[in-house]
Structure 1
């Protein structure tokens, strides 16, 4: 069976504090861009469960409170959750992204909301949410 990984449902987290948002800085193939922390929803997992798992894997945080904030379709359904309360140390994630299995670099960063709106950020649909905050 062939699985098209580009067409899978995804879940992500929007962690916003003090006018900044948590992003993943990607440097790949000579390009620098930023992505919202998140990833594919695994079999048997709800979007909320996937968002919690991805927050732990990519950011190193355990979220106690998540609020659905946006959903859209683009090669699968994307579910995004606004982080409320959380515990842990930002930037201590230990997911596959940090084991060298992917090309380029992958680093959690904080960025001002203003800067996030003017940089290369994927998925681009998130910018509309950030503008209306």
Structure 2
């Protein structure tokens, strides 16, 4: 069990995701990952935004929390700097399938395999998501 943090970057009714092709499957994931030693959920979410998307985020708002092989917390980022798609994390060097940051219109989520499913469900229901 490992605690994980994820980051929700929303802009113009779109969300930043990672497009994955692995093992003959194509799917999308919310940027995020496991907490490192001594790291808070918020710190992990900010680090993952930098590593996976190439952006620096400021204020975070907790959007969703659930248990699944440890605690999972997903945060909505307020303002950010940088351009989505310039991440340099180890995911890009693993050689394990493709790993492509991109924007998806929230209306397209019905037809996409997006993980974790709890986040997809929240996004489709409108939840506490807001677009500044």
Match of 1:31 among 22, 25, 35: 25
Q: Are 2:98 and 1:119 equivalent residues in the alignment?
A: no
Q: Which runs of 5+ in 1 are unaligned?
A: 1-6
CA distances 1:5-44 after superposition (whole Å, capped 9, x unpaired): xx21100001111111100000001100000000001110
Residues 17 and 101 of structure 2 are in contact (CA less than 8 Å); yes or no, is this contact kept in structure 1? yes
Residue 102 (structure 1) shift: 4.3
Matched-pair contact (CA < 8 Å) for 2:7–2:76: yes
Match of 1:92 among 64, 86, 101: 86
Residues 1-133 of structure 1 correspond to what in structure 2 (within 5 A)? 7-99=1-93, 101-133=94-126
Q: What stretches of structure 2 of length at least 5 have no aligned partner?
A: 127-132
Instruction: Determine the C-alpha separation between the residues in 1 that align with 2:83 and 2:106.
Output: 21
Cα distance in 2 for partners of 1:66, 1:132 equals 21
* CA RMSD between the two structures: 1.0
SS at 1:21 equivalent:
strand
C-alpha distance in 1 between matches for 2:105 and 2:66: 24
Q: TM-score, normalised by structure 2?
A: 0.92
How many residues are treated as equivalent by the alignment?
A: 126
TM-score (norm 1): 0.91
Give the Cα separation in 1 of the matches to 2:45 and 2:95.
Answer: 20
Change (3 A) 1:12 1:114: same
